Structure 1
Amino acid sequence: MPQPAATSLKQATLPGANLALLLATLAFAACFSVWTLYAVMGIALQQQLGLSATQYGILLAAPILSGAILRLPLGILADRYSARLLWLYQMLAVLPALLLLPTVQSFTGYLLLGLWFGISGVSFTFGVRYVSQWFASSRQGRALGLFGVGNAGVAITFVLVPLLIDYAGWQWVGPVYAGGLLVISLLFALLAPKEPLQSTQARPKGLSLRQLCADARIWRFSLYYYFVFGSFLALLLWLPQYYMQAYAMDARQAMAFTLFFVATSSMMRALGGWFSDRYGGRAVNWSVFWVCIVCLFFLSYPPTTLIIHGLEKDVQLEIGINVWWFTLLIFIIGVAQGFGRASVYKVIHDYYPHHMGSAGGFVAAIGALGGCTLPIVFGLAQDALGIVTGCFMILYGVLALCMITMFFANQAAQYQQKLAAARSDNFLLDEDQPV
């Protein structure tokens, strides 16, 4: 399996790198805004169609599911063919689904259409492969972190969709988004520089699905990304409803608070890339997990009324988190997740510099599945338990698994380092060395 290979990478950033990064980030932001369209539409659709919490979670998950599943096979293709061209074809393929959106009336119809325009979620895999080819290894964290700021494209949805509904009506959401994506596609086709020659000629053979599945390290990175990205996706889809249920907000207030979480988390990804270049991706990951698990501990505790029976009277204690403390904790988690999304891909590039399409696509697919599966699990937990904080209990368990996995992986790595050092000092003999 691949080992860290920074010494084999080009040490200079190529001409045209900044233009490629700029256009890739704009295209990713546009595609991400389409991918998360149901984050805003979902609340109105839930009321219009009379959906349960579980059905609501399934509706939110539909676009995320198709985008997640396709990241792996298309990521493998991006290692073998032009990621730039594949990305352009993907954007054009989404346009008919957006144009058909005003014609849908049923729950099944929205699910099918969501699966169609959900292929816009593959843009991240294409973008990682495209951007990583332009920059030296010492700048990969910052470059991929800046590219990841395209997550803020969901802010376009949180701002634009309510305005369109107020001034034009639901029927214009799909066509306006189709027009915007078409403009971005044309700009990308005309201005985005073609990939470097060394990336399109004599490419290293991409990793096969069997090789990816057999690599335990890839699965560990995928689990980490399942939390830092998958739960970010799940929260941006789920938080509007949570604010409305837990704090009796109207839809606009809930969207505004969620937008704050999304925007700050997305912007922090660039800073997380810089920290990863400077201090190492693994160290940033471990710090992120500790910050998040402390916050999730408090968020998981449901509002509770405790009655203490005294000698003369009962004492009633109210335990709960008000909206401002809740927003602060969510803000901290969002910032930490922004750092974590950048650091995971910095580590992936350290180990798989020539396979960012296949290796990065595999990790991105598993991470995006978190945005698909977690809202459904949130809905099931809420319907079954009747506890509004059940979503944070689920996230706490996922993060605990991540931390246990990382702890034992680090222990094993340290053991191997000590073993190698001992052998280099002739303290231990290699197995094939004659006695």
Structure 2
Amino acid sequence: FGAGNTGAAVTKLLAPIIVVGYGWTMVPKVYAVLMLVTAIVFWFFTYSDPGHKVGKSVTIREQLAAFKDPKVWRCSQYYSIVFGGYVALALWMTKYYVSEYGFDLKTAALLAAAFSIPGGLLRAIGGHFSDKFGAHTMTWWVLWISLVCLFFLSYPQSDITVQTINGPLTFHFGLNATMFTVIMFTLGIVFALGKASVFKYISDDYPDNIGVVSGVVGLAGGLGGFLMPIMFGALVDLTGIRSSAFMLMFGVVWVSLMWMYWTEVRPMDAARELKRMQLADRME
């Protein structure tokens, strides 16, 4: 998964350079050559493994029963932001740098890669930390750090004028390109960790039905990546504020945090308190 995300990030970096140098028609030609090479490598260096097939003892009805499990939809909510949000921002960032900060296309693509490349490369590290600290702990902190990053990214370029005894005094608030890129780099890292931690939930909770559950969760991530750029554009048209895209994502992360708190954190706190009381009773 991390390699796939990294491939998308590299594409976002290289495609604008190819467009500037050779025209947009060269992009699908390069992609077609790479696909052909990949197909040839796959044909000669892979084999069919019967062990990958689902056993006959697992029926379709049993597999689809996962749709009735609220935990599946909760994981889908998480993945819609950490993967769907990653895909949406990877598509959106080059245009954002051009329109918000006035960079040329090649520079904008290079800066956008500061978000998209770590968001792909570090997914494997996210898997390591999820194994070490657990899916819940990793996802909880991923969402909180994402919320803080999106709070600052959401604030639009603003000027506030104060009338003083010496005349008007204007203050400017807003992220410059350097601060914006640093925060986006941080967000790319936490999204990479979050993509791994959500799938750790699946392997822990559904070891015998990973295929169906991961398919549902992956679908939610794909839908997020498809719908969010459309919503970004609609919000910019509606409000005239480019950072409204981050305001939308801030809201999605907030919903995810509230969902996690009510369905995971509170029950865990209650269980710990009950265990503490039972231990105290035994000591008495």
What is the CA deviation profile of residues 247-267 of structure 1, one whole-angstrom value per residue up to 9, with x for unaligned ones?
011111111111221111111
Distance 1:266 1:372 in 2: 18
Distance 2:61 2:181 in 1: 42
Note closer, same or farther for the CA distance 1:208–1:383 as it changes in structure 2 (3 Å cut): farther
Distance 1:413 1:186 in 2: 51
Distance 2:95 2:83 in 1: 20
Q: Residue 249 of structure 2 aligns with which residue?
A: 395
Q: Residue 228 of structure 2 aligns with which residue?
A: 374
What is the CA deviation profile of residues 138-170 of structure 1, one whole-angstrom value per residue up to 9, with x for unaligned ones?
xxxxxxxxx423210013423443454355443
For 1:260, which of 114, 124, 128 is the aligned residue? 114
For 2:101, which of 229, 247, 256 is the aligned residue? 247
The range that moved more, 334-343 or 202-211, is 202-211
The answer to whether the aligner puts 1:179 opposite 2:33 as a matched pair is yes
Q: Judge conservation of contact 2:161–2:170 (CA < 8 Å) in 1.
A: yes
Amino acid at match of 1:324: T
**SS of alignment partner, residue 371 of structure 1:** helix
Sequence identity percentage: 33
Q: Judge conservation of contact 2:16–2:109 (CA < 8 Å) in 1.
A: no
Amino acid at match of 1:205: T
Query: How much has 1:181 moved relative to structure 2?
Result: 1.0
Q: Residue 77 of structure 2 aligns with which residue?
A: 223
Q: Judge conservation of contact 1:304–1:319 (CA < 8 Å) in 2.
A: yes
Q: Residue 283 of structure 1 aligns with which residue?
A: 137
Q: Residue 157 of structure 2 aligns with which residue?
A: 303
Amino acid at match of 2:3: V
TM-score by length of 2: 0.89
- Number of residue-to-residue matches in the alignment: 279
Distance 1:325 1:315 in 2: 24
Distance 2:18 2:98 in 1: 22
Q: Residue 406 of structure 1 aligns with which residue?
A: 260
For structure 1, list consecutive stretches of 5 or more residues without a partner in the other structure: 1-146, 428-435
Q: Residue 335 of structure 1 aligns with which residue?
A: 189
**SS of alignment partner, residue 25 of structure 2:** helix
What is the CA deviation profile of residues 360-403 of structure 1, one whole-angstrom value per residue up to 9, with x for unaligned ones?
00001011111111111111110010011100100110000000
For structure 2, list consecutive stretches of 5 or more residues without a partner in the other structure: none
Query: How much has 1:207 moved relative to structure 2?
Result: 5.7
Q: Judge conservation of contact 1:220–1:405 (CA < 8 Å) in 2.
A: yes
Q: Judge conservation of contact 1:206–1:355 (CA < 8 Å) in 2.
A: no
Q: Judge conservation of contact 2:16–2:105 (CA < 8 Å) in 1.
A: no
Distance 2:102 2:187 in 1: 22
The answer to whether the aligner puts 1:214 opposite 2:68 as a matched pair is yes
Note closer, same or farther for the CA distance 1:416–1:212 as it changes in structure 2 (3 Å cut): farther
Q: Judge conservation of contact 1:207–1:355 (CA < 8 Å) in 2.
A: no
Amino acid at match of 1:228: V
Distance 2:166 2:54 in 1: 82
Note closer, same or farther for the CA distance 1:166–1:249 as it changes in structure 2 (3 Å cut): closer
Q: Judge conservation of contact 2:156–2:243 (CA < 8 Å) in 1.
A: yes
What is the CA deviation profile of residues 169-205 of structure 1, one whole-angstrom value per residue up to 9, with x for unaligned ones?
4333323312211221232233224335374554633
Amino acid at match of 2:146: C
Q: Judge conservation of contact 2:94–2:108 (CA < 8 Å) in 1.
A: yes
**SS of alignment partner, residue 387 of structure 1:** coil
Q: Residue 173 of structure 2 aligns with which residue?
A: 319
Amino acid at match of 1:253: T
